[in-house]
Amino acid sequence: MHLQCLLQKTFITNLTKLNIIRVVKYSVSSSNDANSFYFKSNFSKEEQTKILNTLNDSNTNHLSRFRVPKNRIKNIHSWKNKKGPFRSLHEVLEVDGLGEKLLHRICQDIINEKCDNNILDSTELTKNNSKNKRQKQIITPPINGQILNKLTSAVGVHLSPIGISWAKLSQEQNKLVNWNFDSFNNLPKKMMPNDNFDMVINIIRKIPSSDVYIFETSPSMGPQNQTSASAYSQQLELSAMLFTLLNTSVHHNVTLRNVNDTNTPSPTSIENRVFYLKSRLSARLFSTLVGQEKVAAVTTINELLNDNVETSEASLPCTKIMVEQQLKAAFDSQTPVNKELLGQALMLVITFMDLCVYKNPAALDAVFSVSKKNKK
């Protein structure tokens, strides 16, 4: 993390000169404002109305389903008894002990709730809490519910000592729309920092834009890991560069796409769009994990590509993907090593979509049932 922060500070200065990113200025509201409580949010008017109606009309049991602490629920009811219903989200911050972070989480829970008029019993609440804990095990950092609700596509990025690959999956028809890689085989053994920088700039221009970018958490170095310390360090450096560039690129981060429009106010912060899937989850989903070691996935990828044919029966515990013949032909033309590289990125983005977006029961059972068996 220290390396990541250092790289971010260094590259922000360099990238502005290349017109790759737009530096965002932070604004701070004056303490002399008439309203001492100001809640910054990107919720639409319809969403804000839904939030306020829920807070004003819900009883104690109903509010508890949105992960509101009991003492805060009492304070909410006390505020409404004294001052009447909430008229804005800013007023909610006046409730004793209810800060901006907690309010933002409550708002997201309310927006994402599918059955607003049904009060969950204790059994259902226990199940939901279990799902929330399981969700935290899947992705880091926790992903914003608004991002998932508005998500149209995701890009899986696989970084290894031999190269980098990416696969873009569109939520519409679960279609694979971009699938490519860059090999590191021809790179010199020793590279200067500026060489790494130039290489990553070239890569970032090839990675397609998307709502989110999914990497896999790197396994810790251990006796079973054959990657040398220097190669491992270089991978961390490249990962940090990619994290910074994807988040600060106007082309890649959707929250920055309108900053060049003079009629659109600049955002007050850069929203993170890069997330890390827990290590080996995709290997568990596609059964390419034997013990603690990953095995070749080419056979599985071929099976996955054939599963999108209507006449074939799906044999993998994941949602079928649509793949154009052109992409399949390009994959078939590659060497086994490059096929493996491409396959890892595809499995990564499919795993993210099935576990975090579609909540595919078959995929969840496959991943977590295997996890339980390994612990026994």
Look up residue 278 and give its amino acid.
Answer: K
- Over its length of 376 residues, how does the chain's per-residue pLDDT go in tens digits? 444 454 455 454 444 444 444 444 333 333 334 444 566 667 888 888 888 888 888 887 778 777 788 888 888 888 888 888 888 888 888 888 888 888 888 888 888 874 333 333 434 434 444 454 555 578 999 888 888 888 999 999 999 988 999 999 999 889 999 999 999 887 766 667 677 888 899 999 999 999 999 999 875 433 344 455 666 677 788 889 999 999 999 899 988 866 555 555 555 568 899 999 998 899 999 988 777 677 888 999 998 888 654 434 457 889 899 999 999 999 999 999 999 999 999 999 999 999 999 988 889 888 887 554 454 4
Per-residue pLDDT at 36: 47
Token duo for residue 82: 């004294």
Distances (CA, A) of 345 to 89, 132, 155, 254, 375: 41, 26, 8, 21, 27
Closest alpha carbon to 318 in 283, 273, 289: 283
What domains can you pick out in the chain, each with its CATH number?
45-120 (1.10.150.280), 140-375 (3.30.420.10)
Per-residue pLDDT at 154: 97
Per-residue pLDDT at 347: 96
Q: Report pTM.
A: 0.63
> Checking DSSP bridges between strand 175-183 and strand 163-170, what pairing results, if any?
antiparallel
Are the C-beta atoms of residues 142 and 332 closer than 8 Å to each other?
A: no
Per-residue pLDDT at 258: 61
Query: CA 199 to CA 221: how far, in whole Å?
Result: 25
